[in-house]
Every structure is written in C-alpha cells, then in structure tokens.
Amino acid sequence: MDISSILQGGYQHPLSRQWQGRRALTKSMLMYPIFITDDPDASVEIKTLPGQRRWGVNKLEGFLGPLVQKGLSSVILFGVPFKCQKDGRGTPADDPQGPVIQAIHKLRTLFPSLYIACDVCLCEYTSHGHCGVLNQDGTIHTAPSVARIAEVALNYAKAGAHCVAPSDMMDGRIKAIKRALVDAGYGNRCTLMSYSAKFASALYGPFRDAAGSAPAFGDRKCYQLPPTAKGLARRAIQRDVGEGADIIMVKPALPYLDVIADAAQLAPDHPLACYQVSGEYAMVCAGADAGVYDLKVMAFETVESMVRAGATLILTYFAPQFMDWLDV
C-alpha cells in the first residue's frame, strides 16, 4: 500500500482518536432547556419529550441541584403559563409574578454559579399563539412586535438573567433589544444570544406541545426561514452580528449542519450556538427505543457532529445525561 493511502495509523488509540477532533465536547458547552410553569409545585411529565417535565419554581432546587453538582453550568428558561390571561401583546411574558421572572430570582439565589439564559418570545403568552403582535388581517405587525419583545427582554435582564435569547425572528429585534439593554444600563451585563437562523421546521412539534405555543391559525412561515434558504440564513447571521448579537444561533441543528458551518465562517469571532430541538431529541430517543442504535452512542454522534460543524455551545435536552457521560 502506498504511504499516502494510510490514515488508520492516526487513530488506533483512544487518545489519538481524540486528537482528530479539532475541539472536544465538554460539559460547559451544553445548555439545558427547561420548562417552567405557573403552578409552583408542578412536576408534570411531557409525553412527547421523554424524560422532560414542566417544573414549578418550588421544584427547581430538587431537580437542578444534583445536575449543577455534576457540572451543569447553564440553562435556558421557557415559560409555560396556564393560569394567566393571554392577550394580543403577550402581557404575561414579563409578569413579575409569572413563571420566568420568578424562576430567575429563585435560580440566582439557589445556584449563584449557574448561568441563566431566557428564551424571549411572545408565542407562549399571546392569545393567538404567534411570536409577535398581529395586524387586523392576522399578519405580523413588525414595529410593535419588536418594541414589545425588547421590553420583555429588558425585564428579564432586570430580573437577573445573564442572557436573553430572542427566538421570534422579527426583523430588527436584535438592534432594538441591544438598544434597550444599553439605554437601561444592562449593555455590559447581559448577553444577547440571537436565534439568527431559525428555520420553519417540523421538528418543533414536541416543544409546542410542551409549551402550549402552537399558533391558533396559520403557521410561522412568514417569519421563520424556509428550510431551503441558505442565502437568507447567511444574511440573517450577518445582519444579527451587525445589530449587536453577542452569540449567534442556528436552529434546528442536525438537518442544518451546513448552516452551522457557514455561521462559523461568517461570524468566526462570536460564540456559535445550535439548538438540538425537541423533535431531534424525540427522534434520537425513538430510534433507540426501536433498537436502531444505542441511545448514548447516537446522542454523542449527533452532538459531536454539531461541534465538528463549528458549534461552541449546544442547547440540548440531553444535557443531564451528558453530565454523567462526560468527565469534564
């Protein structure tokens, strides 16, 4: 055999295999999405997301304590209110007595070292289930949407969130949120993570079920990106960098590894996040249940493919399991 044909000499040993990855997956690269509901004592199984629950604020200590102990370093909060009055502008989103703001206060006291990000969106709080404020005809009214989203983000920052992460995909919201944070004195204290390239995906089903955030009519195709739109994704990433995003995100992750790789090249100086969304997680679990593969091996393969594509931060429902699987 010709010398240039030989690759296997380079990965015969577990350590030399590790050296072949440009970056190794570590615990601090994983952010855990959690659902907080407005019954303070709730611990309710989510059928379509095996192993995940809706938590009340009183349960957070018992639920997260052991995970923080094992090395979980960040969470992203999603509010799931049931008792509130939803309306056209998503008023309950930043209710000081609502689940997200209550959870921020609680987590800051319970776990001083835990990094707390908050998803910012209106769909969990609007009567129509869309991510912004609507015109009479049901289309998105961009200016008031952006203003309301910036207001919610600022209120999460004021409550103590380390990071606000708008997932609504409204044009101009990154600039508006950054402006609001800076003007209120939070510019240097709160990270702005943009869901920059968020695609209109079939993989959000279990999340919408968990969060009760499915739109009452229509779909999200006028604000989330078409799955084929590589160009729009690249433009959205560049725009959000220009508007002041601190972290760029691609979502979903596995079907969009090329977009992650593009983002790594377009925004090489920013942390790059990707979201292994609810449907991706459910798919990995379902395949394992069907005997197609081993769950742990597949969870590693999917998440490590995201690292290989260029992600430096991964939002995943597998985070608790990785705390057991990873050494550092």
Of 40 and 212, which has the nearer Cβ to ligand PBG?
Answer: 212
Q: Whose CA is closest to 85, among 96, 95, 100, 71?
A: 95
Distance CA 266, CA 282 (A): 30
Q: Which residue is nearest to ligand PBG (CB)?
A: 207
User: Cβ neighbours of residue 125 under 8 Å, at least 6 residues apart?
Assistant: 79, 81, 84, 86, 90, 91, 92, 93
Q: Is there binding between residue 167 and Zn ion (CB under 5 A)?
A: yes
Q: Is there binding between residue 121 and ligand PBG (CB under 6 A)?
A: yes
Out of 156, 199, 204, 318, the only residue in the binding site for ligand PBG (CB under 6 A) is 204
Out of 32, 35, 156, 207, the only residue in the binding site for ligand PBG (CB under 6 A) is 207
- Check if 106 is active-site: no
SS (H, E, C) 83-125: CCCCECCCHHHHCCCCHHHHHHHHHHHHCCCCEEEEEECCCCC
Q: Using CB under 6 A as the criterion, what x/- string covers residues 223-262 for binding ligand PBG?
A: ----------------------------------------
Pairing state of beta strands 115-120 and 74-80? parallel
What residues form DSSP beta bridges with 53?
A: 45
**Count of positions on this chain that bind ligand PBG (CB under 6 A):** 13
Q: Of 59, 86, 178, 198, which residue is the catalytic one?
A: 198
Distance CA 198, CA 242 (A): 17
Asked if 199 and 227 count as a contact pair (C-beta separation under 8 A), the reply is yes
Q: Whose CA is closest to 275, among 253, 308, 257, 307?
A: 253
Looking only at residues 175 through 214 of this chain, which bind Zn ion when binding is defined by CB under 5 A?
none
Asked if 120 and 79 count as a contact pair (C-beta separation under 8 A), the reply is no
Distance CA 167, CA 192 (A): 11
Answer yes or no: is 222 a known binding residue: no
Q: Is there binding between residue 121 and Zn ion (CB under 5 A)?
A: yes
Query: Given its phi and psi angles, is residue 23 left (phi above 0), alpha (psi -120 to 50 degrees) or beta?
Result: beta
Of 56 and 279, which has the nearer Cβ to ligand PBG?
Answer: 279
Answer yes or no: is 195 a known binding residue: no
Of 27 and 208, which has the nearer Cβ to ligand PBG?
Answer: 208
DSSP code per residue over 114-159: -EEEEEE-STTTBTT--SS-B-TTSSB-HHHHHHHHHHHHHHHHHH
Out of 92, 220, 233, 264, the only residue in the binding site for ligand PBG (CB under 6 A) is 220
User: C-beta of 112: minimal distance to Zn ion in Å?
Assistant: 26
- Check if 198 is active-site: yes
CA dihedral 252, 234, 121, 128 (to 10 degrees): -90
Q: Is there binding between residue 307 and Zn ion (CB under 5 A)?
A: no
User: Cβ neighbours of residue 304 under 8 Å, at least 6 residues apart?
Assistant: 21, 25
Looking only at residues 124 through 163 of this chain, which bind ligand PBG when binding is defined by CB under 6 A?
131
Answer yes or no: is 186 a known binding residue: no
Q: Is there binding between residue 123 and ligand PBG (CB under 6 A)?
A: yes
Q: Is there binding between residue 277 and ligand PBG (CB under 6 A)?
A: yes
User: C-beta of 55: minimal distance to ligand PBG in Å?
Assistant: 16
Contacted by 194, from ligand PBG, Zn ion, none: CB < 5 to 8 Å by type: none
Binding site for Zn ion (CB under 5 A): 119, 121, 123, 131, 167
Catalytic residues, by residue number, are 198, 251
Going by the annotation, the residues of the binding site are: 121, 123, 131, 208, 220, 278, 317
Binding site for ligand PBG (CB under 6 A): 119, 121, 123, 131, 167-168, 204, 207-208, 213, 220, 277-278
Going by the annotation, the residues of the binding site for 5-aminolevulinate are: 208, 220, 278, 317
